[in-house]
Structure 1
Amino acid sequence: MESKSNTYSVDEFAEFLSVSPQYVRSLIRQKKLPAEMVGSIWLISKDITSDPNVMMNIKVDVSDQIRKEKKSDSPIALSFFSGAMGLDIGLRKAGINVLLASEIDPDTRKTIILNHPNIGLIGDINKYSISDILQYANIDDKNDIDLIIGGPPCQAFSTAGKRKGFEDKRGNVFLEFIEKAIKLKPKFIVIENVRGLLSAPLNHRPHEYRGKNFPPLSQNELSGGALNFIIFLLEKANYKVSFNLYNSANFGSPQKRERVVIICSREDIEIPYLIPSHSESGEFNLPKWKTFRDATNDLVEDDQVYIQFPEKRLKYYKILKEDQYWKDLPIELQKEALGKSYYSSGGRTGFLRRIAWDKPAPTLVTNPAMPATDLAHPEKDRPLSIQEYKRIQEFPDNYEFFGTITSQYRQIGNAVPISLGYSIGKHILALIQKKKIKNSFKDFKYSRYLNTDNVSFRKEFAKRNESKIREEELLPF
């Protein structure tokens, strides 16, 4: 062992990492931190602090960092709520330079730095001023930012949750993002979010306080009130706003993932909808949707990494075939498999679901082995693997994800498909370059839902709110 001057004790190393001594001891027990027992104490070589792979593995979080390159080729973008950067990879592929990422999850921050070591990185946007953001992006206020892009937390607007919208702290960070984006004055702002944003209220009234015995819903409590307020803020800041609900399969992704994409321009221009590159059955002479087979047919089964289904669930998967789910079981087994959920309302399409070879995958979830959101391989008695998740979301095979297997599933499952990011990037680049965008896809079915575009939304919201309301009454605070 080296001399004591070349080593840390557990307490000294804990202070170096800004963690507890208990955390350091747990790293040693898990064999993540090389250490040697001398007498009754553990000693850690100081040399490991210069090994980036060891340090990445043992730090609770990576530090914020200022972008390491001063040069910034135009067009430039700043990314917020970046996640594992699927959207940003698509932008870069289209030719837009992403200078800054913003993320709070420690594992995802490590994933960002592992794959994009020179990028600027910050955490919770509430804690940074405009000058801080510019500093970490390594640009000054003379730079004209071309694009601010972000996918603020969607749980507050998800149809699967309580839908508290801006009353939820995750909803409030949405407003913080819009406020900072407006102050940064980019040429374009792009916001990506879940379908539920189209119908979420600005202020949620519990259902037990609705009906004939209660006052009618106010504008703020109407379906769509949250999005209406977002539009109000952006237009008040002189941004033109266009949006639609897009199925990522229409843009080359082997996955049916539907997301609202809001495009805002500082110039008073017409913003066309995104141009599809694929269609379900070859409509408009476009290539057909990509399939799970297209994405994964060259993967080797022995190389797949995945979590396991509980043994009691495997009993049913051994009966189910490709593209089947719980309703394809005999009736008695349906009741046995679902238990009380069998008698609940709703489609319950996520239970015991084998995906199809020759269709796009369903929307990836953050864990493919949860009881109500199973994503099983078409033939193998297992959930989709990490490698299959990466292919479906179109991450390069050599893209590294930090963390446990469940953390990796979550990071990949939360990402934006890279093809959709690429289509957004091409669209924004054409607008920046003032190219004429020819959209010859009249009546194209962008998603499985009707009236999800900005024109239809405004008409529908106006119908719900026939009475006039003063502008200041729109403000939630």
Structure 2
Amino acid sequence: MTTQRLTAIDLFCGAGGLSEGFRQAGYTVVAGNDIDAAAGETYKATHPDAEFILAPIQDVTVDRLCKTTGLRLGELDVLLGGPPCQAYSVYNHQRGMHDARASLFEQYLRIVEGMKPKWVVMENVTGITSIAGGTVVQSIKEELRKLGYEVECRVLKTEEYGVPQERRRVVFIGNRLGLPIEFPKPTHGPAGSGLEPFTTIWDAIGDLPPLANGEKDKIAAYTEEPVNWFQAYARENAGKTVLNHEAPRLSPVNEARMRHIPIGGSWRDIPYDLLPEGMKKAKRSDHTKRYGRMRPDGLSCTVLTKCDVHWGAYIHPYQDRAISVREAARIQAFPDSFFFHGSRTEQYVQVGNAVPPLLGRKVAEVLLKAGTTVRKERQKAA
């Protein structure tokens, strides 16, 4: 890395998972934009070097970005972006190009054309690869190439980069500098792979204080020292109190249901008379994650925008409750120094919508490596 400041702007930034990953790699994120006010409060508190712009992307002009950041056209190192993914998500059964959100990537391309960043990094859910027969992905590549960028995309698995969660993201990387485009190589894998072992759920949350169902307004302090690299990473620069660590209040019937669910179990372990009416007719092969109790030695299922036990495996491994916002944030590889603003519902949304910072960091590092390699080769040639 050179001593010159490396800059990034993050569009559709949410709470700032991708920004945080690039910050950890050494970039200065100078601006972020989103329409979510609660996420904006989180972003402003955790990215003091960045100017947060609360506005629809359609209202964000290149001129405003230049004035806000002090950058001239062509000076920005990286333009980050993650257009809202609901239109492309496999969880959206009405997904399609007719959804207005599916055209938001065009707004990202508009900013690319105006700002002329050296690199572009765009991420989305894997559903984007199949919608409209794959034409969305082809359109993104073609439009970026028209603007002078060589671009590639790849599906990345977050668990292969130390994130304790099975999560898939499509990442587009491109540049207009003629530099090689690479993607981060996996650092973590199963036993026998020669890589670091996967980070398990208990590796990630095992040091957090216990909670009872519905327990809130508790000043939760760390009671144990970090016992692994992930816990040390999460607690770096954190205070003595665990932030956003409260248990949602589940109903008495859900408490009764949870008591029947063993580690790794699901709705199929609940007695028939306690099942929700809609699930009494379900096939036992369906809905495998619903009312799931996490395996402490396994990976989490994908963290969504609400960790509702009715929809996924979000029951704590040992405690009869849903995971807290902080535990969801740990599973998304957010540092504990992040305080998520807004209502608890808004906090879960911010966490679930984010790119895990550890994944963002690995992507940032391959960009840095490409620039460093070329500089070294040029120095040798001179």
Shift of 1:196: 0.2
| Conserved? CA contact 2:86–2:92, under 8 Å | yes
| Conserved? CA contact 2:38–2:341, under 8 Å | yes
Number of the residue aligned with 1:439 = none
Q: Which amino acid aligns with 1:420?
A: L
Cα-to-partner distance string for 1:318-344 (whole Å, 9 max, x where unaligned): 1111111123446x358x346257447
Number of the residue aligned with 2:66 = 134
| Conserved? CA contact 1:242–1:273, under 8 Å | no
| Conserved? CA contact 2:189–2:198, under 8 Å | yes
Cα-to-partner distance string for 1:97-143 (whole Å, 9 max, x where unaligned): 111101111111111112223411212221122111111223233x5
Number of the residue aligned with 1:394 = 333
| Conserved? CA contact 2:201–2:296, under 8 Å | yes
Alpha-carbon distance change, 266 to 291 in structure 1, aligned in 2, over 3 angstroms: same
Task: Return the match for 1:258 from 168, 171, 181.
Answer: 168
SS of residue matched to 2:138: helix
Cα-to-partner distance string for 1:18-70 (whole Å, 9 max, x where unaligned): xxxxxxxxxxxxxxxxxxxxxxxxxxxxxxxxxxxxxxxxxxxxxxxxxxxxx
Shift of 1:165: 3.8
1:384 equivalent to 2:328? Answer no
Rounded Cα–Cα distance in structure 1 between residues aligned with 2:285 and 2:32: 38
1:300 equivalent to 2:239? Answer no
Number of the residue aligned with 2:121 = 190
Shift of 1:282: 4.2
SS of residue matched to 1:384: coil
Shift of 1:77: 0.9
Number of the residue aligned with 2:11 = 80
Alignment of 1:74-473 (within 5 A): 74-122=5-53, 123-141=55-73, 144-201=75-132, 223-283=133-193, 285-302=194-211, 303=220, 304-329=245-270, 332=272, 336-337=275-276, 339=278, 342-343=281-282, 347-369=286-308, 371-434=310-373
SS of residue matched to 2:52: strand
Size of the alignment, in residue pairs? 341
SS of residue matched to 2:367: helix
Cα-to-partner distance string for 1:423-473 (whole Å, 9 max, x where unaligned): 01101111232359xxxxxxxxxxxxxxxxxxxxxxxxxxxxxxxxxxxxx
Rounded Cα–Cα distance in structure 2 between residues aligned with 1:274 and 1:327: 39
Rounded Cα–Cα distance in structure 2 between residues aligned with 1:430 and 1:387: 32
| Conserved? CA contact 2:42–2:340, under 8 Å | yes
Shift of 1:385: 1.0
| Conserved? CA contact 2:340–2:347, under 8 Å | yes
Shift of 1:168: 1.7
Alpha-carbon distance change, 338 to 149 in structure 1, aligned in 2, over 3 angstroms: farther
Stretches of structure 2 lacking an aligned partner (at least 5 in a row) = 212-219, 221-244, 376-382
Alpha-carbon distance change, 355 to 144 in structure 1, aligned in 2, over 3 angstroms: same
Stretches of structure 1 lacking an aligned partner (at least 5 in a row) = 1-71, 202-222, 437-477
SS of residue matched to 2:154: strand
Rounded Cα–Cα distance in structure 2 between residues aligned with 1:274 and 1:119: 26
Q: Which amino acid aligns with 2:294?
A: I
Shift of 1:370: 5.4
Rounded Cα–Cα distance in structure 1 between residues aligned with 2:284 and 2:123: 30
Shift of 1:291: 0.6
Rounded Cα–Cα distance in structure 2 between residues aligned with 1:163 and 1:435: 45
| Conserved? CA contact 1:250–1:280, under 8 Å | no
Rounded Cα–Cα distance in structure 2 between residues aligned with 1:319 and 1:119: 48
Pick the structure with greater CA Rg. Answer: 1
- Specify which structure has the bigger relative contact order, considering alpha-carbon pairs within 8 angstroms and separated by 6 or more residues: 2
Number of the residue aligned with 1:455 = none
CA RMSD of aligned residues (A): 2.3
Rounded Cα–Cα distance in structure 2 between residues aligned with 1:105 and 1:342: 39
Shift of 1:270: 3.9
Q: What TM-score results when the alignment is normalised by the length of structure 2?
A: 0.83
Shift of 1:227: 1.3
Rounded Cα–Cα distance in structure 2 between residues aligned with 1:151 and 1:369: 24
